[in-house]
Structure 1
Amino acid sequence: MVPYAGIVLHRAARRKFCLTRARVRAINRAYLGGAMELRQLEIFCAVAERRGFSVAAEELGLTQPTVSFQIASLEEELGTRLLDRGGRSTMLTKSGEVLFRYARQILDLSKEAEEAVHSLKGLLWGEITLGASTIPGEYILPGMLQEFAAAHPGIALTMLIEDTGGIIKKVLENEVDLGLVGASEKSDKLTFTRLVSDRLVVIAPAQSKWFAGTKATLDELKKAPFVMREGGSGTRSIMEKRLSERGIDGLHVVMTMGSTESVKRSVESGAGVSIVSERAVRNEVTMGLLRALEIEGMELIRDFFIVHRRQKVLSPAAEALLEFLREGGQNIDCGEKK
């Protein structure tokens, strides 16, 4: 069976009516002016992002022949091949890369327009994809988002957790509506708004042999084995910057971990020491599993920032979340001082 524009014809019927692809294109031009349809662009983007026809078809709830036919029609309309079907995965051609950039923007704008129209009816609904670095994503946002969701049942929230560098990249590439990260940077494409402060502390095993007193000295930090977050981590970036200002440009790093939880478990097992957010170790310190120490003569305080594209028109739903986070951030403490 051959589908087109919501119509399914048996192959015999197709032969009878001579409904070739060339004729399909002629019909399309006659009735639609040759314009690309949003559905075609949606299918094209799905194939490009999933790098395969069958995976895209399953995600869209379509048959693979339907997807193949729509892509072929789009290629005929534009007069160029958009996808390289050779090999194990489907890749974009140069023309496909150009179309993908514009198609993604068109689909995003279509979604924003739909949400904006509905918001005029007094119905705040839609979908928001929020990106967060580890500390806000695991220790700050869950409670806030639960409160926001209860107040706005028509809004579906998705949160992606990655290091600060990864989230900033996702904001730039329009993969998330808003980001919450542990560092800011100068950019003419992004807007950073301070949300809340966060206190960093040195952590060590409960029976630590690396620190003699109740505070960690700079000399002790130079000698201690460190379990660190990965290079894109905002925590690591701030920590290294502040220690460098005090003359410590290199630490004895024995392990590098991809999450704060793995850092905590490694330190707890005796692998070394680390510097993490105070709010991330409150439970472990209370239970006596870890020690939390300040650094003698210095205080490690950093800020978390809401980030979004400067030129991006936020949907009403995203605007509501942005305002909610700004107001909620005023009521969050930066961590208990030890």
Structure 2
Amino acid sequence: MTLPFDLRALQVFLAVVDQGGFGAAARELHIAQSAVSQSIANLERRLELTLFHRHERRIALTTEGEALVAHARQLLERAETAHLAMRELHDLVKGEVRIGIPSMLGSYYFPPLLMGFKAQHPGIRLTVVEAGARRLQHMIASGELDLGVVIDDGASRHLARRHLTREEMVVCVPREHPFAEYYSVTPEAFFAEPLVLFQDGYFHREFIDTLSQRCGTEANIAFESNLIPLTKAIVRRGFGITTFLRRVVEEPDLAAVSFDTPSWMDLSLAWAEGAYLSRAEQAFVDFVLANR
């Protein structure tokens, strides 16, 4: 579709209306009066309408010209708004990043990164979704999330990844538990204890299920909870033990003990393979990788 006018023509038209004449409009726009006259003539020809009554020393809007004024102002205002929005995005004044984070990382690893990024880019909105690592992979693939933290195990080849951190999964027990004095704990000894575990879909539970299958021992599940504070409270009171990333256990009344073969998890920042990253999203990726 070919429009009968462009924004510059409307700008000239409104200058003539607001200034009350071609000469005054030319001075306002810093162009020749002949250029103003030519622009209006071209606009009228393309619209096939007369916009001004022309008298010897004055002009007046026709009915058609009066009708165009309101539309012209709205179009120019919207164009200015669009231009400002694009400039803000270009300069990272505005934007949005939707990121999914597993609860352990969301509570104990990412807060300083999120706050640091927000301090640098206060106009960018951060939407943080907490979910299990596997669920996050599906949300990224479906476009529900722009970015997410996933287990770097190669299970999802449709994701582009950047390595984020390597964390040890440790046994978490209260300080008075016998394991607290151990250098390491065997999987068999761990599974003999009542356990407090995350529900299916979280890398915490996936780690336990894999370990259980590997050593041929069934987990003795006493509680299931995805709430880290509740899980810690249960462990403190001696109703069960659990596993966490080591940094999650850094509290005076809890002890972190390695498995007899230390267990490590590689976690990556990921997005859909081949997906376009906006300037805000790319800035977030760059910031996280630079400050991990």
2:124 corresponds to? 155
2:114 maps to what in 1? 145
Write the mapping of 1:294-305 to structure 2, written as runs, cut at 5 A: 294-296=258-260, 298-305=261-268
**3-state SS of paired residue (2:110):** helix
Q: Aligned to 1:314, what secondary structure does the other structure show?
A: coil
Aligned to 1:59: none
Aligned-partner Cα distance in 2 for 1:155–1:179 = 17
> Superposition pairs for residues 182-261 of structure 1, below 5 Å?
182-208=151-177, 213-242=182-211, 244-245=213-214, 247-261=215-229
Q: Check 1:231–1:114 CA distance in 2 against 1; reply closer, same or farther (3 A cut).
A: farther
| Equivalence for 2:248 | 280
CA-to-aligned-CA distance 1:194-250 (integer Å, 9 cap, x gap)? 2111111101122225677443233322311111111111122134324544x2442
Structure 1 residues 226 and 120: alpha-carbon distance in aligned structure 2, compared to 1, 3 A threshold: closer
Distance 1:115 1:325 in 2: 28
Deviations 1:25-52 (A, max 9, x none): xxxxxx9xxxxxxxxxxxxxxxxxxxxx
**1:172–1:309 Cα contact (<8 Å) kept:** yes
CA offsets, 1:124-147, max 9 Å, x none?
421111111112211111101111
* Residue 260 of structure 1, CA deviation: 2.6
Cα distance between partner residues in 2 of 1:281 and 1:222? 19
Given the superposition, is the C-alpha separation of residues 265 and 114 from structure 1 closer, same or farther in structure 2, using an over 3 Å criterion?
farther
Equivalenced residue count is 212
Distance 2:197 2:84 in 1: 42
Calculate the TM-score normalised by the size of structure 2: 0.65
1:293-316 per-position Cα deviation (integer Å, ceiling 9, x unaligned)? 1222x1011011111111321111
Q: SS of the counterpart of 2:239?
A: coil
How many angstroms apart in 2 are the aligned matches of 1:309 and 1:116? 26
8 A Cα contact 2:97 2:146, kept in partner: yes
Question: C-alpha displacement at 1:123, in angstroms?
Answer: 4.2
Runs (5+) with no aligned partner, structure 1: 1-30, 32-112, 330-338
**1:313 aligns with one of 267, 276, 290:** 276
Q: CA RMSD in A?
A: 2.7
Identity among equivalent positions (%) equals 24
Shift of 1:261: 2.5
Give the counterpart of 1:262 among 230, 233, 236.
Answer: 230
2:32 matched residue in structure 1: none
Partners of 2:276 and 2:291 lie apart in 1 by 22
The amino acid that maps onto 2:165 is V
Q: Under a length normalisation based on structure 1, what TM-score does the superposition of the two structures give?
A: 0.57
5+ long unaligned stretches in structure 2: 4-81
Equivalent in the alignment of 1:9: none
Where 1:237 maps in the other structure, the secondary structure is helix
Is 1:168 aligned to residue 137 of structure 2? yes
CA–CA distance in 1 between the matches of 2:227 and 2:86?
40
Whether 1:291 and 2:255 are equivalent positions in the alignment is yes
Q: Is the 8 A contact 2:152 2:163 kept in 1?
A: no
Aligned residue identity for 1:280: V
> In structure 2, how many angstroms separate the alpha carbons of the residues matched to 1:126 and 1:145?
15
CA displacement at 1:277 relative to structure 2: 0.8
Distance 1:213 1:322, change over 3 A: closer
1:76 corresponding residue in structure 2: none
